[in-house]
Structure 1
Amino acid sequence: MPLSYNDLSLKDARQWFNDCVVIKGSELFYVAGIGESADVGLEENPKGDKYAAHLTQGSAEGAWFPLSDIAPYWPQERLINVGREALFLKRTADRQWSRSLRRTNASLQTLHSAAERKVLALSHMNFGEERVLKGLSRLDYPSYSEALEKVMSGEVWGVAFSPNYAIVSHAGCAEPTLHYKEWAVGTASPRGVLLESVAYFLADELSQFVPTLEVK
């Protein structure tokens, strides 16, 4: 790396990594704080890191690690499964420079309306929660039939079966709704998918996941 972390000021180190999701080893962590190694008891570390990151996973107290132990995390936009719902990880423009995923350059888009979330008691989620970190870490998805069964049984309110597609239960809808990323594009049933005509261009991609597909 052309620029060593030790060349940064403490202010810049915090701007780069504070309040971010990062990788350590093979796991995702939330950076709850950036401090000088000497001030947090890590003045002696193998690589001589000047700065340290306080890493947490959910409500756990966490611990301090040398800054060189972490790596930036830049996921692609995709649907993720968290708790009883599917969320769309959406990247946004960041006015401040950062080296990893954080709430100023990404958001978790719900597939339910505000009224539905209130009725279903679905709470707001943030990147520091353990369940969100686990959802971001998980790269595997259930099959279409498995996802549909979970939604129709009431086990979950929504579940993604690929990075781009999810099945969601909505109030007032007789059948579950098919979502492409954050948009509703059709209905889902054991028979297959009925795709809205405006979303006809998704048919080829979607056909690899569903048993049968029809366009209105």
Structure 2
Amino acid sequence: MPEVMFAGPDGRLEGRYHHSKETGAPLALILHPHPLHGGTMNNRVTYTMYQAFQRLGFSVMRFNFRGVGRSQGRYDGGIGEIGDAAAALDWMQAVNPNSGGLWIAGYSFGAFIGMQLLMRRPEISGWISVAPPANHYDFGFLAPCPCGGLMLHGDSDELVPEPAVKKLVDKLNTQKGVSVDYRILPGADHVFASHADVIAEHLEDYVRKTVARRAMALAAD
């Protein structure tokens, strides 16, 4: 699990990167929770998603936003953090010029940043959002949302009530050509204390099915 340091908009950023042995493997970028509330790339949910994408054969990176761990800079209210994530994508794409697709996965604050990045990078082909803070941030920028994805949320989330996420999902699913797979995890709160493995199972199931469906569509063409 090589440690990497790469250039961000506000100084060097610290990450962990796994390079797939498969030629032309797809890429995945994992984004951690809020920097001011203890969020780091070593968060349990973030690390669980990192491992899940490894098992799926992806080249995958998780990294610390500015001001976290050994990453330089300071918290920027979300704006600079979008630039950090874009820099991480740039680094991965430079290392993998012939990658077979690009996915982004974020947890809590990381889900919000991931969806912002989705609107700026048309090459992103799939996304995973875990506990998106739909009651804290305005997700109205997802108009139109470029592609479908997977949204996971706990029905016992005390910080982000489930109905707020359901409202976001329903709004996205009214958009033409967009299908959001919304899966509610019974008994899970915002930190998913005993549900990390369940998140991994849902992620792997969704990504496998989505990749297989796209391969079939290409073959049919």
TM-score by length of 2: 0.28
Q: Indicate the structure whose relative CO is greater, using CA pairs within 8 Å and at least 6 residues apart.
A: 2
Which structure's residues are more often helix, by fraction? 2
Choose between structure 1 and 2: higher strand proportion: 1
Larger Rg: 1
